[in-house]
Amino acid sequence: MAIPCVIMTELAEELSLVTRGPVATLTINRPDRHNAFSLRMWSALPAVAGAVEADRGVRVLLIRGAGRGPFSAGADIAEFATVRTGERAAAEYSATVHRAERAIAGLSKPTIALVRGSCVGGGCELALACDLRIADETARFGITPAKLGVIYNQVSTARVVHTVGPAWARYLLLTGELLDADTALRIGLVHQVHPAESAAESAMALAGTLANRAPLSVAGAKQFIRRAVEGASATDGWADRWYTASYRSAEYEEGIAAFLDKRPADFSGLPWPVVTEDGSLADL
């Protein structure tokens, strides 16, 4: 087993980022506030994403609450009186939260949220920024701006609609009510629900599966899905660059050789490709 290694130390004390082999785990550890995010914690997330992106040996980011959870009760409302008072401060606070959310959503590497217990407000926003969500049977989900007099960000609203469809997006945003894990699974808000005692193991197993897939294929799939959500459906020069890279890649060579040899493909020695902000390959 790989020895755990901290890949980033300059974080809010309630957050830790550790890598074991190709999987990095961001742990939220603020139990006295039910893992609610302070402004300082939101501010740290773009640096977390940057560290994960920069480490080409890391292939998956898993986000979870410490121990048995919860995932996160959302933003720390108790600090709003000092950090979110007045129009300008409120706008700056919201911008910080959405920079954090977009940093996680924009990673070229696959991300998994392991949700146990409360996943509410900003916590749900963070979970939705991840590619995949694994829940245990205690998980509860809610998006609660209607209880706070807040307008949910347009980008985040679109992500809810793309995930669960407009009908359930209306229910979540208009009522602010919580959904249990079974309902979340039924509407597509989560991908799997597991018993409390096995959810963490299942999430790590999924992370291992993703880490064992061809890096170029996974990175490309994330970018193609993003573009499809934005409305692109036709092949163009941008897509052709990815196709050409795959034909020339070590991943393709190994994948075909493994198929012919009737063995599992081994992509473990291949680094994660460098992806630019527009989703192109930087080293083509």
Using alpha carbons, list the distances in angstroms from residue 120 to 33, 124, 150, 242, 272: 13, 5, 14, 37, 32
Find the mean pLDDT for residues 132-147.
97
User: pLDDT band at residue 6, thresholds of 50, 70 and 90?
Assistant: very low
CA distances from 141 to 31, 150, 172, 218 (A): 18, 18, 9, 28
For the chain, list the domains and their CATH numbers.
5-211 (3.90.226.10), 215-284 (1.10.12.10)
Mean pLDDT, rounded, for 178-186 = 98
**Cα torsion angle, 72, 176, 179, 131, sign:** negative
**For range 92-101, the mean pLDDT:** 94
Q: Are 113 and 133 in contact (CB under 8 A)?
A: yes
Question: How many Cα atoms are found within 13 Å in the side-chain-facing hemisphere of 139?
Answer: 34
Pick the residue with more confidence: 114 or 13? 114
CA dihedral in degrees (55, 60, 65, 68; nearest 10)? Answer: -130
Amino acid (1-letter code) at residue 214: A
For residue 70, say if its preceding peptide bond is cis, omega within 30 degrees of 0: yes
Supply the pLDDT for residue 284. Answer: 53
Among 3-12, 132-141, 267-276, whose mean pLDDT is lowest?
3-12
> What is d(CA 210, CA 227) in angstroms, rounded to the nearest whole number?
21
Residue with the bigger pLDDT between 86 and 168: it is 168
pLDDT over threshold 80, residue 5: no
Task: Label residue 13 by pLDDT band (50, 70, 90).
Answer: confident
Range list of β-strands (E), 2-88: 5-8, 15-20, 23-28, 60-65
Residue 233, token pair as written in the block: 């459906």
Average model confidence (pLDDT) across the chain: 93
Alpha carbon of residue 28 to chain centroid: 14
Taking the CB of residue 120, how many other CB atoms lie within 10 A of it?
25
Residue 4 has pLDDT above 80, yes or no: no
Q: Of 238, 229, 268, whose CA–CA distance to 250 is shortest? A: 268
Query: Residue 278 pLDDT more than 90?
Result: no
Q: What region, left, alpha or beta, does residue 225 occupy, with left being phi > 0 and alpha being psi -120 to 50 degrees?
A: alpha
Strands (E), 144-216: 179-180, 192-194
**pLDDT tens-digit profile of 254-266?**
999 999 999 999 9
Give me the phi and psi of 121, to 5 degrees please.
55, -125
Summarize the confidence of residues 144-159 as an average pLDDT. 93
- Residue 28 pLDDT more than 90? yes
Residue 3 clears pLDDT 60, i.e. is over it: no
* pLDDT value of residue 1: 37
Residue 29 has a pLDDT of 96
Q: What would you measure as the largest C-alpha separation in the chain, in angstroms?
A: 65
What does the pLDDT read at residue 10? Answer: 58
Quick: pLDDT tens for 201-251. 999 999 999 999 999 999 999 999 999 999 988 999 999 999 999 999 999
Helix (H, G, I), strand (E, B) or coil at 134: strand
Tens of pLDDT, residues 69-89: 899 999 999 998 888 888 999
- The distance in angstroms from the start CA to the end CA of the chain is 34
Amino acid letter at 284? L
| CA-atom Rg of the chain in angstroms | 19
CA proximity to 227, closest of 214, 242, 209, 215: 242
Name the DSSP letter for residue 215.
Answer: H
